[in-house]
Chain A
Amino acid sequence: MRRAFWIAAALVAVGVPLLHPNSYVLDVIAKAYITAIAVYGLNVILGYTGLLNLGHAAFFAIGAYGVALLEKNAGWPFWPALLAGCLGSVVLGFFVGIISLRTRGNYFAIFTAAIGVMISIVLTNADKITGGNVGIVAIPPPPNIGPVSFADDIPKYYLVLAILVFAVAVCALVRNSLVGRTFVAIADNEDLARATGVDVPRTKLVAFMLSTFLAGLAGGVYAAYVGFLGPDQSGLDVTFQQLLFLVVGGIGTISGPLLGTLLLEGVSQWLQGVQQYRFIIFGPLLVVLVIFFPHGIAGGLARLQRRIAPRGPTPSARTANAPEAAAS
C-alpha cells in the first residue's frame, strides 16, 4: 500500500509535464516542490526530534543567498555554489545549534526565532552585498547538461523533482534507521533516552544540522530556479507557512510534508483572487484539521488504510514502518 502510494506519486510527478504542459501550472508545482524540501527539513527537527525551529526560513535564505552571491559575484557554477550554500547553512546550524540546544521547549523556539529575525535584518540591511530590499536579480540557472537547458520549464521541473526525490529519500532512510529512531526517542522521552546512553545534546545537534542542510538545499535550488531573491524569503512568516504545511500534511510522517505543501500551495493558487484574505480560509481549515486529523493528511490516510485493510501488511514489513505508522 505504502509502495503503491509512492509509485503512483512518482508516476504523477513524472507525468505532469507531459499531461499539462502549461508553464504556469508547472512553475507553481515546481516551486511547491522546492518549498516541500524545506518542509522536510522542518520535519526532521520538529516532527522527528520534537524541537520547533522558528528560524528555519533563515537557513533557507542562507542557502539561497549563498548560491546567488557565489554565482553572481564569484562566478561559481551552480552545483559547487549549491554545495557551498548547503554547507553554509549547516555550519550556521552547527553554531546556532550548540548554543540554542542547551535550552528546552519554548525557549528553543524563541531563541531560534530571534536568530531568524537577526538573519533577516542582516540580509535586508547589508545592501552592499545582498542588495537589501531589492535583493539579487538575474541569478543564472544551473548549467546545461548536454543538450538540456535549465532555462526551459520542463527540464527545470525535472531537476527540482530530482532534488525533491533526493530529499525524501534522505528523510525516509534516516527515519527508519537507528539514527532516526534515536531522534524520535528523544522527542518521545528525553530522560529515558539519556538513561539508555544516548548523548542527547549531540544527537539533537545532528538532527538540527540535517534539517538546516535541507533548508539550505531548498534555498539554493530556489535561488537558481526563480532567478531572483529578496530578504522576504527569510522571514518568520515563511517559517510559519512551512509549519502550517507540515501540520496539515502530517507531522513526523514521510509523505506529510509533500502532501501538505502541494495541497496548501494549490489552495493558495486557487484563492489568488483573495490573496490577502486567504488566512481567513486557512485558519478554520487548520482548526478543523487539528481536531479531526491530529496527524494531518498522512495520518488520516494511514487511518483510512487501516480501516479498509485492518490486518494490512505482514508483521515483518510492519516492523520497519511501524514507528512511522505510530507517528502518523
Chain B
Amino acid sequence: MLRFVGKRVWEGALTLAALVTLTFFVMRLAPGGPFSRNRKISPEILEHIKATFHLDEPVWQQFGRYVWGLMHFDFGPSTRFRDYSVGDLIASGLPYSLTIGFWAVVIASMVGIALGIAGALRRNTPTDYLAGVVGVIGIAVPIFVIGPLFQVIFALKLNWLPVGGSDQGWRSLVLPIVVLSLPNIAYISRLTRGSMIETMRENYVRTARAKGIGPRRTLIVHTLKGALLPVIAYLGPATAGIITGSILIETVFAVPGIGRHFVDAALNRDYPLVMGITLLYGGLLILFNILTDLVRGWLDPRVRSDG
C-alpha cells in the first residue's frame, strides 16, 4: 500500500514539474508581452518596468528565479494588478471557486448516483427515461447556454435569485452551483446506470442470489461496491470538468473567483498570474487524481496489489 501511494505521488510530482516548465516557456514564447499594448509608455519607463519584473534577463534565468520562488511558495507579482502579488489574487478568488466547485461536486454525485441507480433498477420505465432525458440535456446543452437561460428565468423574470456577482452571500452562489452541477449530474448518472447494469450481470452477483441473500442485501453488499468503483474513478477527472466549468460559470455569473482571474490574465498576458493559477489547477487535479486512486485502492483489493 505504501509503495502504491509513493508511486502515485511520484507520478504527480513529475506531471507538476512538466506543467511548470511547459507553462513557463509557453508564456515566454507566446507573441506579445504584457506591456506591448500600452503604447504611451516611454522606452525608459518600459526598461524600468521590465527590470522590475526581471523581463530583461535571459529566459533560463527567469525560469530559475521563478522555480526558486515557487519553492518558497512565492508566485511573484502580478504584472497587471501592480499592487497585488499572484498569491493575494489567488487567495481572494479561491474561496468563491472552492465553494462553488465543492457544492457542485456534492450535488452532482448525490443526484447523479441516485438517478443512475434508479434508472438501472427500473430499466425502460418512466423513471429510467426521465433520467435519460436529464442526462442527454446535461451533456448536450453547454453551461454557457443553460447559465444565461437560468439567469433570465430565475433572476430576471421570477426575481428569486440575483443575476450574478457575489454581494448577496449564499444567494449569489445558488445559480452558479446548480448550473455547474448539471453536466456532472448527467455524466455521473449515465456512468452509474451503465456500471450498475453491467455489475448486476456479474457472476458474483448471481452467486449472491444463489446463496439466497435477499435482493436488498445483494444490492447493498454485493452490487453497489463494484458498480460505484468506476464512478469514483471518474471523480478525479471530474475535477478537471469542474475547473473548466468554473471558468465559464464565473464568467457567466460574474463571480470574482480564480477562473475569472485566469481568463482575464490570459487575455492580458499577465504571465505570473496565468502560471500561478495553472499550477494551482494542475496541483488540484493531481491531488484529486491521487485521492481517487487511494480511495479506489482502499475499495478494490486488486488495484492495491497491482501497485
Q: Decide whether A and B are members of one complex.
A: no
Which residues of A are in contact with B by a Cβ distance under 8 Å? none
Which residues of B are in contact with A by a Cβ distance under 8 Å? none
